[in-house]
Amino acid sequence: ADYFVQVAAFTSKANADQLAAKLGAKVVVSADGKLHRVRFGPFASEDEAKSALKNAQAKGYPQARLLHE
């Protein structure tokens, strides 16, 4: 399983693409195609992901969260 940091999720692909480009993140589309998630990762360890999470929160994304999939 991998660790990811999700910064935001949008119904608008354009909004997700714009934020991902700004942050250097990836856009992952949900299985039903309705949500476009802006994420960093995968990270090999929880510690690496936690570091990225803190970085995202420090950059003004307090809603960023850690995911383990």
Give pTM, 2 decimals. 0.90
Would you say 42 and 52 are in contact if contact means Cβ atoms under 8 Å apart? no
- Which has the closest alpha carbon to 34: 20, 21, 19, 16? 16
Residue 13: pLDDT band (50, 70, 90) is very high
| Chain segment 14-57, per-residue pLDDT in tens | 999 999 999 999 999 999 999 999 999 999 999 999 999 999 99
